[in-house]
């Protein structure tokens, strides 16, 4: 079983590199492949998270992306979307933020939850309507609230106002997008919007959504890969 390298080779350490370069001292060591000093002079630090776009997939289908690969890092355990994006949002591993998968038992509420929707598994109504705030469950503080710079969060429109997004947002400005094309446009717009130092976290779920439903070799999935290969120059 592949295990995450929390010492210096996982996405937790990537977030430590970013945090340290932007003036916040993280709990974990920085990534061995990327020294924080390499980012210190950057005006725009852009973290683009394409859900489902792993190392092996890039090496098979990446073309342009493949030429910029610095090396391979591990994820977190468990390596689920829920766990990973919460690590990106908080800078902590699942053992800190407590999110382990799409469905989780919330024993305090006596139910299985769809945690990213912040609802019971079988019901679409948010726990917030029962006066349970997401901050009571998602207690790890958002990284975007700890950094001494402006932060932006580009996310799919359908989750831009969700309880989960709000609870893991800190002071970042939410920028919703509706397509992969708009995703790149929004990131580019933020980059040129001002000359201040800033962190731009941009999350895209299109690839993983289509891959789960259609398979990695489906035309629609490969079409997204093609658009990623020709991604625009952002800075």
- In degrees and rounded to multiples of 5, residue 129 shows phi and psi of -70, -15
Residue 67 has pLDDT above 90, yes or no: no
Q: Which residues partner with 45 through β-bridges?
A: 199
In tens, the pLDDT along 102-151 reads 999 999 889 999 999 999 998 889 998 889 999 898 999 999 999 999 99
**Long-range CB contacts (within 8 A, 24+) of 97-102:** 97/138, 97/140, 98/138, 98/139, 98/140, 99/138
Copy the structure tokens of residue 65.
């992306």
> Averaging pLDDT over each range in 4-8, 79-83, 127-131, which range is the top one?
4-8
**Cα separation of 217 and 57, whole Å?**
11
149 inside domain: yes
Copy the structure tokens of residue 22.
């932007």
Copy the structure tokens of residue 191.
């980059």
Cα torsion for 65, 69, 73, 76, to the nearest 10°? Answer: -20
235 inside domain: no
2 inside domain: no
Mapped onto helix, strand or coil, the DSSP state of residue 149 is coil
pTM: 0.88
How confident is residue 2, by pLDDT bands cut at 50, 70 and 90?
Answer: confident
6 inside domain: no
Q: Tell me the residue range of the domain where 223 lies.
A: 11-229
5 inside domain: no
How confident is residue 64, by pLDDT bands cut at 50, 70 and 90?
Answer: confident
4 inside domain: no
CB 12 within 8 Å of CB 93: yes
The residues near 188 (Cβ < 8 Å, ≥ 6 apart) are: 232, 234
Whole-number pLDDT of residue 234: 46
**Cα separation of 189 and 1, whole Å?**
41
234 inside domain: no
**Among candidate residues 95, 107, 208, 194, the one with its CA nearest the CA of residue 156:** 208
Mapped onto helix, strand or coil, the DSSP state of residue 28 is coil
What's the structural domain count of the chain?
1
**Cα separation of 91 and 168, whole Å?**
11
**Cα separation of 42 and 44, whole Å?**
5
Whole-number pLDDT of residue 132: 92
Which CATH number does the domain housing residue 58 bear?
A: 3.40.720.10
Q: Which residues partner with 155 through β-bridges?
A: 176
How confident is residue 224, by pLDDT bands cut at 50, 70 and 90?
Answer: low
CB 87 within 8 Å of CB 15: yes
């Amino acid at each position: 079983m592949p295990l995450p390298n929390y010492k210096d080779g996982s996405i937790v350490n990537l977030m430590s590199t970013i945090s340290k370069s932007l003036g916040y001292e993280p709990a974990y060591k920085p990534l061995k492949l990327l020294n924080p000093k390499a980012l210190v002079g950057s005006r725009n630090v852009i973290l683009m998270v394409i859900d489902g776009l792993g190392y092996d997939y890039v090496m098979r289908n990446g073309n342009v992306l493949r030429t910029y690969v610095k090396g391979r890092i591990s994820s977190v355990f468990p390596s689920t979307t829920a766990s990973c994006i919460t690590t990106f949002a908080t800078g902590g591993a699942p053992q800190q933020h407590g999110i382990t998968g799409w469905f989780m038992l919330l024993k305090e509420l006596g139910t299985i939850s769809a945690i990213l929707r912040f609802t019971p598994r079988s019901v679409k109504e948010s726990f917030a309507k029962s006066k349970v705030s997401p901050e009571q469950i998602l207690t790890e503080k958002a990284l975007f609230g700890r950094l001494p710079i402006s932060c932006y969060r580009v996310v799919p429109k359908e989750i831009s106002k969700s309880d989960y997004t709000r609870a893991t947002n800190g002071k970042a400005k939410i920028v919703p997008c509706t397509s992969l094309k708009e995703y790149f446009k929004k990131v580019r717009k933020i980059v040129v919007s001002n000359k201040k130092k800033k962190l731009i976290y941009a999350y895209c779920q299109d690839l993983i959504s289509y891959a789960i439903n259609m398979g990695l070799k489906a035309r629609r999935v490969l079409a997204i890969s093609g658009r990623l290969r020709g991604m625009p120059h952002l800075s």
